[in-house]
Amino acid sequence: MVFKFDLTQTMGLAVLVYIIGMWIRNHVPFLKKYFIPSPVIGGLIFSVLIFLGIQTGTFKVTMNNSLQDYFMNIFFCATGFTCSIAIIKKSGKQGAILAVGAVVLLAVQNIVGVFFADMFGINKLLGIAMGSISMSGGVGSGVAFGPILEKLGAEGGTTVGVAAATFGLLMGSLVGGPVAQKLINKYNLKSSGNTEGEDALKITDVMSDKHFFISVLLVLGATAFGSYIYLALKALSGLTIPYYVGCLFAGMLFRNVMDSKKMPLNMKEVDVIGNVSLNLFLSLALMNLNIAKLLSLAGPMIAILFIQTVVMMIWAYFVTFRSMGSDYDAAVMAAGHCGVGLGQTPNAIANMAAIINANGPAPNAWFVLPVITVVFINLCNPIIITAFINFFK
C-alpha cells in the first residue's frame, strides 16, 4: 500500500510530526534536559515507522517536500542577521582569540572525521558529515549538507549527519561540566563575584504585531537577495556551494547595513521567523531519513563520534582554557565550548549556567562565548565544510 501526500498534506504531516515530538519531549525529562529538538524526536519516530513499513512490505509513503529547502534558506538568512560587526567588536581581543580557536576547531573536526572514516573504510564525505557539519553545525547543518553529500556519492549523508548531531547534543551537555570542574579544582579557580554584564544576553526587543510583517518582508527580501549572492559565488569560485550560504551572507549584509544606517531592526521578530522556519524545515527533512543506511554504519559511526567527543574535551581543556586566560571565566568558557562544539548554543548556555550556579558568576564568559561562537561558527562553518567537500569529493 502506498500513501501519497501532496504539498498541503505534507505540511500538515510535518506539523503533526512536530506536535508529537513536542509532546514526547515535554513528558520525557531526559530529552528536555539535553535539548533534543522536538522535530528531531518526531521525525526520527516517523522515519522508523516508514522504515518498518518498507522492510515488512506493508506500506510506503511518498511526500511533496518542495518547501523544505525554502524554509531552510529562510532560517539561515535569519541566522545571518545575528552577525553584527558592532556587537562582535564589543568582545575585544578575547573575542578575536576565541573566534580563531572556534574556527580552527571546525577544520580539526573535519580532519578527524575524514581520517577515521578512511581508516574504517567508509566514504570520506561521511567523515565530514561526522565532522563540523554535525558537531559544531548541529542538526540543521546536517540536514542542509546531507543532500549535497549524497549527490556526490555519500549514501546516507543526511541520516548520518542528523544522527551524529543528535549524539553531539547529548555529549555536549554531558562533558562540559566535568571539563570545567576539573580545571577549577586543579587550579583552585575562584569567581570574581562581579555580576556586571551577566544579563548581557537577554533579549530586550518586544514583539509587535504592527511591525512583525515588516520583519517578515525584510527576511524574505534578504533571502531572495541571497539567491543572487549564491549564483555569484558559484560562478566566481566554480565550487560546490550550498544554496543557503548565499542567504546566510545576505542576512549578514542586511544586518550590518542597517546597523551602519541606524535603521530599526527587531531581532526578536527575526529570531521568531528563523525558529519557525527551522522547526518546519527539520520536520520536513527528518521524516525522510534513511534508517537502513544508518544501521549499516552503526559501528564505525559510534567510534568516530566518541573520538570527536574526546577531541572536543581535549581542545576545551588545553586550547580554549589557556587561550582565554586560564582563569575562572576561561574554565566556564571551556564548558560552554564543549556545548556548542558538540551540540548547539542552548547546550553551551546550560553548561555555563550549571558551573556559574555552583561556583559563582562569570560575566565575560556569559557574554563573549555565545556571541562569538554563534557568529563565527555560523559564518565560517559552511565555508570550511564546502572546502573539505570540494577537496574530498
- Residue 295's pLDDT is 81
Residue 276, pLDDT > 90, answer yes
Band the pLDDT of 369: cuts 50, 70, 90.
very high
C-alpha distance from residue 323 to each of 95, 243, 328, 341, 353 (Å): 10, 35, 13, 16, 21
pLDDT on residue 207:
66
Distances (CA, A) of 56 to 51, 59, 295, 358: 9, 8, 16, 52
DSSP of 313-327: HHIIIIIIHHHTTSS
Q: What is the pLDDT of residue 136?
A: 95
Q: Are 113 and 131 spatial neighbours (Cβ–Cβ below 8 Å)?
A: yes
For residue 259, what are the contacts with CB-CB under 8 A and spacing of at least 6? 84, 85, 86, 265
CA 27, 168, 171, 273 dihedral sign is negative
- The three-state secondary structure class of 3 is strand
Give the per-residue pLDDT at 193.
66
Q: Distance (Å, rounded) from C-alpha 308 to C-alpha 296? A: 20
pLDDT at 393: 87
What cell numbers appear for 234 in the block? Answer: 558559484
CA 222, chain centre distance (Å)? 21
pLDDT tens for each residue of 283-310: 998 888 878 878 888 899 999 999 999 9
User: Does residue 233 have a pLDDT over 50?
Assistant: yes
The string of pLDDT tens digits covering residues 109-143 is 999 999 999 999 999 999 999 999 999 999 989 99
- Look at residue 53 and tell me whether its pLDDT is greater than 70: yes
Q: How confident is the model over 206-215, as pLDDT tens digits? A: 666 778 999 9
| Distance in angstroms (rounded) separating the CA atoms of residues 321 and 328 | 9
- pLDDT tens, residue by residue, 144-199: 999 999 999 999 999 999 999 999 998 998 899 999 999 999 999 999 766 544 44
- β-partners of residue 60 are 2
- Average pLDDT over the chain, rounded to an integer: 91
pLDDT above 80: residue 234: yes
